[in-house]
Chains A and B, each alone.
Chain A
Amino acid sequence: MGKFKKKVKTGESIPTSALPDIIFMLLFFFMVTTVLREQDILVDQKIPQATQLQKLQKKTLISYIYIGKPKNTGLYGSEPRVQANDVLISSPEIVQWVNQERDKLPEADRGLITISMKVDKEVKMGPISDVQTELRNADARRVLYASTGKVD
């Protein structure tokens, strides 16, 4: 007994002088990747999952349309509604909205406008079909069903 040598404590410490640099690097990463939301989402958005996801090359061609139950049910009711830009619109207004969005694009790309439909899981096919009929009327036939990746 008593044979254990007392360990000599060496003054080891992690050098922290580079810490600010590392933090700044992370900070810049997040600053660059951040997209600040320019609009409030007024409807529920639980995006369904899928496996066969595709990514579009040109983000400028995409316009977003949000469909879901309004968050403020007292004001807008509990039926699924369509949100474009930052207002809730009714189906007949979709054509006008699509035309506005299309006018923002350069002339060569107008035929390629893609509508990304961000639809809540709870929504039934009825409202979606109505929106799609309007999109067909507006001749915006490229539709992207927004979904998140599924791990399987």
Chain B
Amino acid sequence: MARSNSRGSQEVNAGSMADIAFLLLIFFLVTTTIASDKGILNILPPKQDPNVPPPDIKKNERNIYNVLINANNDLLVEGDYRRSAEGLDQDFKAFIMNFGAPDEEATALYNSLPASLQAQAQRKADSSDDPGEAVISIKTNRGTSYEVFLEVFDLAKKAYFEIYAERVGLTADEYRRLNGDSEATKALQDKGKEGIPMAISIAEPDKIGGN
């Protein structure tokens, strides 16, 4: 049955293998889009019931850090005009860690903080009472550019993450990378956040300068 092979050993020519592989490689290089699922996480407030009036929250003005961004992308930070958001993260931090009038709980929190964070407490009377009370409020117009809004939001997040990280002795990058899938990282994450809630409020935009 079997034909006798008279032509000797036949081999596939492998010389062009590299070329073929190159061709495929280049195809995949070009078509690849490495999926990016990174971003800034935000939890929206729950839906408001139109029949129930919004709760009347009594909060001292000094505990709210107001940032307004208008349709020209100018900033109004606590009543002061600013051209750009640069340096806002340091102001946020100073505001959160102010400890102007801490109650008993906040004093305990203060005493549990590392010395480097304690040193940041400026105890100004016109700034926040304690981190648990402090709220950063970002308000935009409908015409505000998303990019500027995101920049300010990013800086507010940065302020909080830096505080959390300093508390547990990590860098902010390391702290953000904690994902809470093991007990140890979860414990670290919780330790950083404890008593200092990330309170960033995003107000509904005004109907100015948009559509």
Contacts and interface: CB of A to CB of B under 8 A. Distances in A.
Contact of A52 (B24, B144, B157, B205): B157
11 contacts: A53-B38, A55-B37, A121-B147, A124-B210, A125-B144, A126-B205, A129-B142, A142-B43, A143-B42, A143-B43, A144-B37
Interface stretch (A7-15, A24-32, A85-93): A24-32
A59 B37 contact: yes
Given A34-B31, A136-B44, A54 B146 contact: no
Q: A interface, how many residues as a size bin?
A: 35 or more
B47 A136 contact: yes
Contacts of B149: 125
Given A56-B41, A144-B42, 15 more contacts: A19-B18, A31-B28, A33-B32, A50-B154, A51-B154, A53-B39, A116-B39, A120-B146, A124-B144, A124-B145, A125-B149, A126-B211, A129-B205, A132-B44, A145-B41
Interface string B12-23: 001001100110
Q: B interface, how many residues as a size bin?
A: 35 or more
Interface in B25-68: 25, 28-29, 31-48
Contact of B40 (A30, A54, A129, A137): A54
B204 interface: yes
A151 B208 CA distance: 33
A22 to B, nearest CB: 9
Given A34-B32, A125-B205, A48 B146 contact: yes
Nearest to A54: B41
Contact of A50 (B40, B43, B48, B204): B40
A119 B39 CA distance: 11
B38 A54 contact: yes
Contacts of A40: none
Given A50-B150, A126-B211, A27 B37 contact: no
Contacts of A79: 211
Interface of A: 16, 19-20, 23-24, 26-27, 30-31, 33-37, 48, 50-57, 59, 62, 79, 114, 116-117, 119-126, 128-129, 132, 135-137, 139, 141-149
Nearest to B177: A55
Interface of B: 14, 17-18, 21-22, 24-25, 28-29, 31-48, 140-147, 149-151, 153-154, 157-158, 161, 172, 176-177, 179, 181, 204-205, 209-211
Contacts of B154: 50-52, 147
A30 B150 contact: no
A52 B157 CA distance: 7
Chain B CB within 10 Å — which of A20, A114, A119 has the most?
A20
Given A23-B18, A125-B142, A143-B42, A48 B150 contact: yes
A137 B210 CA distance: 22
Contacts of A119: 146
A147 B48 CA distance: 28
A24 B21 contact: yes
B38 A30 contact: no
Nearest to B159: A52
Nearest to A30: B28
B38 A55 contact: yes
